[in-house]
Amino acid sequence: MNAMMETSELPAVFDGVKLAAVAAVLYVIVRCLNLKSPTAPPDLYFQDSGLSRFLLKSCPLLTKEYIPPLIWGKSGHIQTALYGKMGRVRSPHPYGHRKFITMSDGATSTFDLFEPLAEHCVGDDITMVICPGIANHSEKQYIRTFVDYAQKNGYRCAVLNHLGALPNIELTSPRMFTYGCTWEFGAMVNYIKKTYPLTQLVVVGFSLGGNIVCKYLGETQANQEKVLCCVSVCQGYSALRSPLSGHLGNETIVGIVIPRFIPRVESGLETQKSAEWRAQETFMQWDQCRRFYNFLMADNMKKIILSHRQALFGDHVKKPQSLEDTDLSRLYTATSLMQIDDNVMRKFHGYNSLKEYYEEESCMRYLHRIYVPLMLVNAADDPLVHESLLAIPKSLSEKRENVMFVLPLHGGHLGFFEGSVLFPEPLTWMDKLVVEYANAICQWERNKSQCSDTELVEADLE
């Protein structure tokens, strides 16, 4: 009798184990995909001014809820992975002309030029000068998608190909692109200004490109001539120091307007803790799988450098004095971007240490010198940019009326996919926001000389 009762209880026990296993799997899925995270408009940091009020009225995406794909879009890791592996879906193939510029050190810089496919909304000649992310170029899918959309909105586009990034373009000097070198981007901008003397410029940078364009604009006031605005997407602002231990100018913080009533970060313990962070240290940590991303990016950089082994390390080239043959052997064993930067990249420009290289090449010390309208965009779930670094754009937006910091909850690193349930749309929220912001700035510049700020804000945009 007892044996029969034990036998009948066993299936119930197994069913309970199965149910618990299913519940555990569902819990892990919900946590990993962040399915319980809400969708909301992006957090906005800015000062109350005629320009900011005009932007809020003219750019619906700034106040509209950003809705990523339902199943996976709330995971910053999946958004980042899909961008990195797939780029974009159904990416177009815009037609452009490749231009070559010989630099003073013998390097051959290239960029691709795409003419507009429609008349611009204000009828002016506007050129977007675009700097892609690390090791990227005009043939990357996310760049092609953005360029095609910008062309259809009346923009000429010039896209820098990072030195050494294109596999079919050989290096002509023992140097390739680095974290903050603005030489090639500046040469492209000067070409555009000379070739199209009536054009005005919209400066756009993605990831590492955001660091380059902001540093370029802040290096000298002359670089901001004919520039209508600048947009930086998903950059990290500083490769060395924490946001609160760096220099953002001498202005006094005068306040901030945040439509979604986000509390300001208070000074004290949290500030002290944030100040202890260093960007390169966070990029070596395993939280948010940041160390794994670092390894993958370093592996890609190694492949690019080694593909130009002869031009950089060959016996026939005149290498920088600090660059030695032993650096090539160290490159093979490097597992992080910091090791590659220390052993190879900094030496292209003669920096004595990695600390000096990161301090001089990060845009953080140049941001306060930018006077044109500046929109800085990051995603709160970007696994590559530590949250402590976001204090830099927040602080800057508190000091400067020309700066707006846009921080959506989701988007990952250069993802920002949109879609209903599973399949993303070809255009991303990021693509549409950059063009929408540029359109608004063009209209602001066109109309502000004709009426006061108050009249401009009250006027309807048609």
Nearest to 224 by CA among 193, 180, 191, 254: 193
Q: Which amino acid makes up residue 105? A: D
Is 299 an annotated catalytic residue? no
CA–CA distance, 259 with 261 (Å, rounded to integer): 5
Is 382 an annotated catalytic residue? yes
Catalytic residue from among 173, 327, 413, 431: 413
Q: Three-class SS string for the chain?
A: CHHHHHHHHHHHHHHHHHHHHHHHHHHHHHHHCCCCCCCECCEEEECCCHHHHHHHHHCHHHHCCECCCCCCCCCHHHHHHHHHHHCCCCCCCCCCEEEEEECCCCCEEEEEEECCCCCCCCCCCEEEEEECCCCCCCCCHHHHHHHHHHHHCCCEEEEEECCCCCCCCCCCCCCCCCCCCCHHHHHHHHHHHHHCCCCEEEEEEECHHHHHHHHHHHHCHHHHCCEEEEEEECCCCCCCCCHHHCCCCCCCCCCCECCCCCCCCCCCHHHHHHHCCCHHHHCCCCHHHHHHHHHHHHHHHHHHHHHCHHHHHCCCCCCCCCCCHHHHHHHHHCCCHHHHHHHCHHHHHCCCCHHHHHHHHCHHHCHHHCCCCEEEECCCCCCCCCHHHHHHHHHHHHHCCCEEEEECCCCCCCCCCCCCCCCCCCCCHHHHHHHHHHHHHHHHHHHCCCCCHHHHHHCCCC
Catalytic residue from among 148, 342, 382, 431: 382
CA–CA distance, 242 with 100 (Å, rounded to integer): 38
Residues 240/278, Cβ–Cβ less than 8 Å? yes
Q: Which residues of 83-101 are buried (b: 16+ CB within 10 A; e: fewer)?
A: bbeebbbebeebebeebee
Catalytic residue from among 207, 232, 274, 388: 207
CA–CA distance, 115 with 292 (Å, rounded to integer): 39
Is 207 an annotated catalytic residue? yes
Q: Which residues are catalytic?
A: 207, 382, 413
